[in-house]
Amino acid sequence: MQVLQFFGNSVNQRHIEAAADALREGALVIYPTDTHYAIGCDPSNRQAVQALVKFKGGDRGKDTLTLICGDISQASTLARIDNVTFRILKNNTPAPVTFLLNPAPHLLKNLKGRTTVGLRIPRQPVTVELAKALGSPILSASLPLDSEDASNPDAIALALSEAAAFLLDAGVTPAHSSTILDLTDPAEPVLVREGPVHPQL
């Protein structure tokens, strides 16, 4: 795994393009969010999705995979977003909030066994630029590490050296989990997990 370093809030575009190219080619990439680091792939690449599921233990129903998006317009390409959902997303992003949504039909083909997908629009600039460079949301999963290690790129590089093509090292991230809001029925949002942000409905 190659480590690409970012300093402060600066974004090295050459690093971003290298990581985006790797995603397009079917590789997995580990990158920072505004909570922990995550591992992701290109959701249009079936083999990459299978590799991500295998990384998570092969159980398609065990964990919710999450679409990490650069903005709301990207989110609408792979998830079903009606007017109510759009308003809630707009009022609560970018932020460390994961929204549970119904996947778009064409995404379901690569997510056999899963009926929901998470969606996040973080405020982490490296992540936002990576999604924009890919031209698509990044289908992602949490790392199989404790909270402190999952926030520390040095610990990640040591523990998961063979897991991905690149680690985008933007320093230590906040060691907390995101708020989770279930919007699979937009008329009745359900707060699944309390986190750093209380969503506005």
Q: What is the pTM of this model?
A: 0.92
DSSP 189: -
Query: What tokens were used for 179?
Result: 């708020």
Closest C-alpha to 29, from 60, 51, 13:
51
Tell me if the bond preceding 196 is cis, omega within 30° of 0: no
* Residue 174 reports pLDDT greater than 70: yes
Please name the helix (run of DSSP H) or strand (run of DSSP E) that holds residue 30, with its range, or none: strand 29-32
- Give residue-wise pLDDT tens across range 19-42: 999 999 999 999 999 999 999 999
Closest C-alpha to 118, from 140, 98, 90:
98
Which 3 state secondary structure label does DSSP give 85?
A: helix
* Residue 100 reports pLDDT greater than 70: yes
* Residue 56 reports pLDDT greater than 90: no
- The sign of the torsion formed by the CA atoms of 109, 40, 86, 180 equals positive
* Residue 138 reports pLDDT greater than 90: yes
Query: What tokens were used for 47?
Result: 């083999």
Domains belonging to the chain, first-starting first, are 2-193 (3.90.870.10)
pLDDT of residue 148: 95
pLDDT of residue 63: 66
Query: Distance (Å, rounded) from C-alpha 167 to C-alpha 160?
Result: 10
Pick the range with the lowest mean pLDDT from 53-62, 83-92, 153-162: 53-62
